[in-house]
Structure 1
Amino acid sequence: MTLAPNATGDIPPLPVDRLLRRVLAAGLVAIALVLLLQPLFVGLLVATRSASDLPAIRGHIVQAFADGYLANDEQPTRFMHGGGHQFTECAGLLVAIDPESDPLIAALRPVMHSPYVGPCGEVESLAKGVATDKRTDYARYWHGYRVYLWPMLSVFSLETVRMINLVLLYAATAFYFIGMRRAIGATPALAFFIVQMSLTDIWRMWNITTHTLSTILILAGAGLFAFLYPRTRNLTLAIVMAAAFGAVFNFVDFLINPPLMPMLLAFIVIATELKSPMPIARQTVIPALLMAGFVALAWFGGYGVTWATEWLLAVWMSPDGQQAGLSIIKQIALRLYGVEADSVVPMYPLIPTLTMILQSFISVGSVVVAALAAAMFVFLRAHWQAFDWRRFLLLSWPTLIAMAWFEILNNHTQTHSHFTYRSESAAIAMVFAAALLATNAQATIKSLFGDLWRVIRQRPAQAPAA
C-alpha cells in the first residue's frame, strides 16, 4: 500500500503509529520469505554440485596456472589478471573442487583438502590430484558462489569465466548508476558515482570471482531498489526486498563488503523521503529516519538469519558437532576483537574507521576526487545561503552503518583493509551526494568544474544573459 499525494503534490509521511504497524506486518512477511529461501539455497548447492564436472573444473584450474592466470605466489604473470585479493580467489576455487562424493555433504560441510596456508599453491596441487591428509573445515560460510563457479568452470576456462565476470560486473554497474540517477537526480548521482568508482577497485575486480559476485549483487540490487522505491514509496516492499537481498548476499558472500548494501538502501530511502526542496518539516524527519533504519535493519536481519542457518547446518552435518560449533564461535570472536599472531592490528576505537578512510585515498583516483571536492567547495561557498545543514546531516546518516560495522568487526576490518575499505569509499561518495542534495541550487558536473576553473584563473563568472 502506498500513500496518496496531498494537495501540493507531495506524498505525506506516515504517522509513526501507522508506520510501526506497517513495519511489523512487513517484518513478518520478510521473515517468512527469508526462511523459505534457506531450503532453496541448500537445493541450489546440491543440484549444481550434482551436475558439475569436477574433472573438467580441475583441468581448467591446472590450465589457468600453466597459462599465467593463477600463480602459487599470488602474482599471476598475465598483467590484467593480477592484483586484487588472489588469496580469496584461490580459496574459493579450493572449496569448489572439494572431491567429496556426496553432494549434500559437499554443499553443507565444505572442507579444504589443504592446511589453508597458501591456497593458490594448495589449489594447484589438489587440482593436479596430489593427495594430502591435511583438512581445513570451512563450513562457517555457505560458499554460494559455487553455484556460479561449478557450472561455469565445468564448461569454460578460467579466462573465459573472468571475461563473463567483467561483462556482468560492468552491466550491474551501469544499471546501478541509472537507478541512482533516477532516485536522487543526475548531478548528485554522477558525483556519487565518480567518487565511488575513483576510490575503489570495482571497475577492475572482475579477476576475483568471489568479490565480483557479491559486488554484482550489491550494485544490481541497489539499482533495482533505486528504480522501485522512489516510484512506489512502499515500505512493505522495501523491507521485504531488503531482507531478501541480505539473505542472498550472505549466501554468495565471503565476508567481503557486508555494510555497503544496507547503507545504500538506507540512503535511497532517506533521500526519497526528504526529496522536497522545501524546508524539512519536523513531522517528516522521524518517519523518514525510521523508514531508512528499518530497511537497513531488515537487510541485516536477512543476512543474520541466513548465516545462523548455515552455522546450525554445519554443526548438524559435522561428525563432531561440538567441535564444529566451537570452531565457528572462535572465528566470530577472532573477527570481532581477536588477535592473530601473524597479523597484529591495534584494537582501539575509531582506528578501524580511520584506517578505512586512509585506505580509500591510496589510489590514483584520489586526484579526481580532490578536484571534485575543490569544485564543490567553490559551489557551496557561492551558494552557502541555500545550503541546509540539517538536510545534509540527515542524508549522511547512513554512513554510520559502515562505521558501526568497521568498529564491531575490528579485527576483520583492519586485517583485510585492502578490500573492506570499499564500503567507506561509498560512504565518502554519499557525503558528496548529500551535500549537493542539501543545496537548493542547480548545478551540473560541467558547471561545477567550470566554476572551479574560473576561480583558478581568477576570472569572475559572467552574468547570465537577460
Structure 2
Amino acid sequence: MKKQILKNLIILLLAPAVGFVLLLLVHLLPTGPIKSNVISSKDSIIAEGQDELVIDDYNATLTGNFTDCIMLQLSIYDGGHSAPDQAMNLYRNEVGNEEEWCPGLSLVDYLNGSPTRLEVAYPRYWHGYLVFLKPLLLFTSFNSIRLINAGLQLILLAASLILFSKKGHSKLAFSFVASLPFMFFFSSFASLSLSICMYIMLLEMLIISLFNEKLAEKEGYLTFFLVGGSATAYFDFLTYPLVTLAFPLIAVLALKEEKAKKTYLSILKYSLTWGIGYVFMWASKWVIALIFTGRNTISDAVNTISARTSATDGGRIAGYLKVLKNNLSPFVNRAFALLIILLGAIVIVLIIKNGLKNFGFAQRIPVLIIGLIPFVWWFVASNHSFEHASFTCRNFAIFVFALCFALIKDINLADKKESDSNS
C-alpha cells in the first residue's frame, strides 16, 4: 500500500511538469502552416457563426463553435511572445472587449490578416488540447479534423461495447449506450470543445474493458482515477467533466461486485482520488504560470471559481430550482419522451423474458448514489450550471446510465445463455 501511495504521489507531482513540457514543445511549432489549414475552413467558420445548432430549437445540440473558435485562435496566434509565455498565458486577438468576447469574428479577422485590435489572455485553464490540435492542424484542416473526430469517437465507443459484451457485461454495455443520447453524443462529432470529456470518458471505458483484472489488483484503480482527474483538468474547459468520473465509476462497481461496505468505500476512495488529481492539476497551472512568466493568474482563477460556485439570483435554494429547470428542460420534449418509453419497453421485455435474480434495492443504492452526482454538481456550481446549461445538462446522462443499470443489473441474461448452451 505504501508503494502505491508513493507511486500516486510521484504521478501527481510529475503530471503538471509533463503537461507544461508538452505545451512548450507544441508552441515551438511554426504557426504559418497551421494558419493556412485553418484558412482552408474559413468559409465554414463564417457560415456557422459563433454558435451553431445541430438541430434547430434544441439549444443543447450546440456545436460549441464559440469555444472552438477560441481553440483555433490559440492554435494559430503569433503575438511575438516567448514559447513559455504563450504556453502559459494563451494570448490571442479579440475584436470585442475584455468583458464581451467575439471569438468567431476575432478568428476571421486574424485569418484575414487584420491588425490585432486587442490582445487578451486566457490563462485560467491548461488548454492541454493544444498538444493534439496544433500538430493535427499542421497537416490537415479544421473540417477534416471534424470528420476524424466523428469516426474516432464511434470507433472507441464500438470497441468498448464489444469488449464489455464479450466479457459477459452486456447489461453494462446496454446501459452505457442507452445513456449517450442524453449526452447529445451526436453533436460532439462536429465540436472540438465538447469532444474533450467525451474522449477522456470513452478512453477510460475502453481501458476498463481491456484491463479491469490488472487494475483491480493492488489498488490500480486509485492510479486510474488520479490520472483521469488530472487529464480532465489538463484538457477540458469545465464543460461536463463529471462524466470522466461517474461513467468509469459505474463500470468499475459493476465489474468488481464487492460487498456493500467495500462498495461505498470504493466510491469514496475513487471519487476523492479523481478530485485530488483534478484540483491539483488545475491549481498547479496557476503556480507554473507565475513561476515561468511572472503573471499572477491565481487571483483570476480564484475569482472565477468563486463566481462559478456562487448562487444565482434569488438565493441558493431558489436559484438551484432555476438551475434544475435549465439543465433538465432539454430533455422535456417529445423526442426524449419517446426515447424513454422505448428504453422502458426494452427493460420490461427483458425482465419478462429472462426474469430477475437476487433482486434487492440495497444492492442498487451504490450505483444510484453515483447517479445523483450531477444534481450535487449543479448545486455546488450553480452559477456555471445556470449560465452554461446547454452543455452542463449533459451530466444528466450519468443519472440515466446509473438508473438504467440499476434496473437491469439482475436480469437473468447469463443464466439464460448458459442453460441454452447446455440443452
TM-score interval, smaller chain: 0.7 to 0.9
* Partner Cα distance (1:290, 1:256) in 2: 28
Provide the residue aligned with 1:463 in structure 2: none
Shift of 1:228: 2.0
**DSSP-derived class of the 2:319 partner:** coil
- Tell me the equivalent position of 1:259: 242
Shift of 1:441: 3.1
Cα-to-partner distance string for 1:54-109 (whole Å, 9 max, x where unaligned): 1222233233222x2444733679999x9411111112112222313311111111
The residue that corresponds to 1:457 in the other structure is none
CA RMSD of aligned residues (A): 3.2
**Aligned twin of 2:385:** 413
Match of 2:309 among 332, 336, 343: 336
Aligned partners of 2:322, 2:164: CA distance in 1, in Å?
31
SS at match of 1:96: helix
2:147 aligned to 163, 168, 171, which one? 163
CA contact (8 A) 1:360 1:424 kept: no
Amino acid at match of 2:76: I
Deviation, 1:266, is 1.9
Give the letter for the 2:70 counterpart.
A
1:145 Cα deviation from its structure 2 partner: 0.8
Supply the AA of the counterpart residue of 1:335: R
Deviation at 1:348, TM superposition (A): 2.6
Correspondence for 1:37 among 8, 15, 23: 15
> Which runs of structure 2 are paired with 1:253-402 in the superposition (5 Å)?
253-274=236-257, 284-321=259-296, 324-337=297-310, 348-349=319-320, 351-353=322-324, 355-362=326-333, 364=335, 366-377=337-348, 387-402=359-374
Aligned to 2:36: 59
Q: Which runs of 5+ in 1 are unaligned?
A: 1-21, 276-283, 445-465
- Letter aligned with residue 105 of structure 1: D
Could you say if the C-alpha distance between residues 138 and 345 of structure 1 is closer, same or farther in structure 2, counting changes exceeding 3 Å?
farther
3-state SS of paired residue (1:398)? helix
CA contact (8 A) 1:183 1:272 kept: no
Once the two structures are superposed, the pairs formed by residues 100-179 of structure 1 within 5 Å of their partners are: 100-101=79-80, 102-114=82-94, 115=97, 117-179=101-163
Matched, 1:88 2:67: yes
CA distance in 2 between counterparts of 1:112 and 1:347 reads 38
Cross-structure match for 2:399? 427
Q: Which has the higher Rg, Structure 1 or Structure 2?
A: 1
Secondary structure of the structure 2 residue equivalent to 1:50: coil
| 1:206-221 aligned within 5 A | 206-221=189-204
Q: Which runs of 5+ in 2 are unaligned?
A: 416-422
Distance 1:441 1:89, change over 3 A: same
State the alpha-carbon separation in 2 of the partners of residues 361 and 234 from structure 1.
43
For 2:93, the aligned partner's letter is H
Identity of aligned residues (%): 18
Q: Distance in 1 between matches of 2:150 and 2:287?
A: 35
CA–CA distance in structure 1, aligned partners of residues 254 and 374 of structure 2: 18
Find the residue that maps to 2:101 and give its secondary structure: coil
Partner of 2:420: none
- In terms of fraction of residues, the more helix-rich structure is 2
Please give the secondary structure, in 2, of the residue aligned with 1:296. helix
**What is the aligned length?**
405
**Partner SS for 1:142:** coil
